[in-house]
Amino acid sequence: MRLRTLVVLLLLSLQCNGLAWAEVHIYFSPNGGCDQAVIQLAGKAQSYLDAACYTFTLNTIADQLVAAKQRGVRVRVIVDKTQASQQSSQAQRLAAVGIPVLMNSHSGLMHDKFLVVDGRSVATGSFNWTASATQRNDENLVVFADELPVAKAFAAQFDRMWHDSTRFVSIPGAAAASSRSAQPQAAPPPQAPPSVEPAPPAQSDTVYITSSGTKYHRLGCRYLKKGGTPISRADAEGQGYTACSVCKP
């Protein structure tokens, strides 16, 4: 009942500020589906996908961005400079497959967390794209589906950052994959897009954790009978997890 009331109040606020009624979906962490909401929205992109996220370490979301590029979607990413150099960051992986990634060069933080898809839909909130934000932290994510005024505002803010060469630069060690002025590709004609499997993460660097355990595991370990969350080994160890003595990942 409280969540329903929150949704109604949010929609009334949008209408009072001159926006049309929006299709809004609200998610909360821990374990409330924030990561899957981002993945699903990115999977719907047909023309372009712009992402700005302070901390980006989730392989599963990176997989979806890589898959979007492989099916012809223009993908651009902005991250914070203090996070881009972290071993667990997905920034270098994305740049390595030709996705342009910028970071802030100014003294403040690039603290945004939002995703714009085709200039029509937006996902935004406190949710960083990390395992901790998914499984441990108290976070929120709001998805505005097919809400043009909201999407237009976020797309304009992304473009302001992307084209501001005095405050944003390419991440170190990665050549720019495309010009800052590159325009999004035209949306393909209405038809079923080709099936593209997300690129699998490197086995040697990927381990699995559970929401209740303190160990990280190899895929197939008996302690993963109820499932596990993929995470880089460095990220797992950075969060205090230690290797399972049974599967010895």
Beta strands in the chain (DSSP E): 23-29, 48-53, 74-79, 101-104, 113-117, 121-125, 139-145, 168-170, 206-209, 215-216, 229-232, 242-243
The residue annotated as part of the active site, out of 111, 138, 146, 163, is 111
The question of whether 118 is a catalytic residue gets the answer yes
Smallest CA-to-CA distance from 114 within 59, 160, 70, 77 is with: 77
- Give the H or E element holding residue 2: helix 2-16
204-to-201, 223, 243, 245, 249 alpha-carbon distances in Å: 9, 19, 13, 17, 9
The residue annotated as part of the active site, out of 35, 63, 81, 113, is 113
The question of whether 113 is a catalytic residue gets the answer yes
The residue annotated as part of the active site, out of 63, 80, 118, 235, is 118
Distance CA 151, CA 118 (A): 9
Q: Are 151 and 124 in contact (CB under 8 A)?
A: no
Smallest CA-to-CA distance from 27 within 40, 15, 36 is with: 36
The question of whether 25 is a catalytic residue gets the answer no
- Give the H or E element holding residue 36: helix 34-43
Query: 242 forms bridges with which residues in the sheet?
Result: 215
**Within the chain, how many helices (H) and strands (E) appear?**
8, 12
3-state secondary structure 167-210: CEEECCCCCCCCCCCCCCCCCCCCCCCCCCCCCCCCHHHEEEEC
What is the set of active-site residues?
Answer: 111, 113, 118
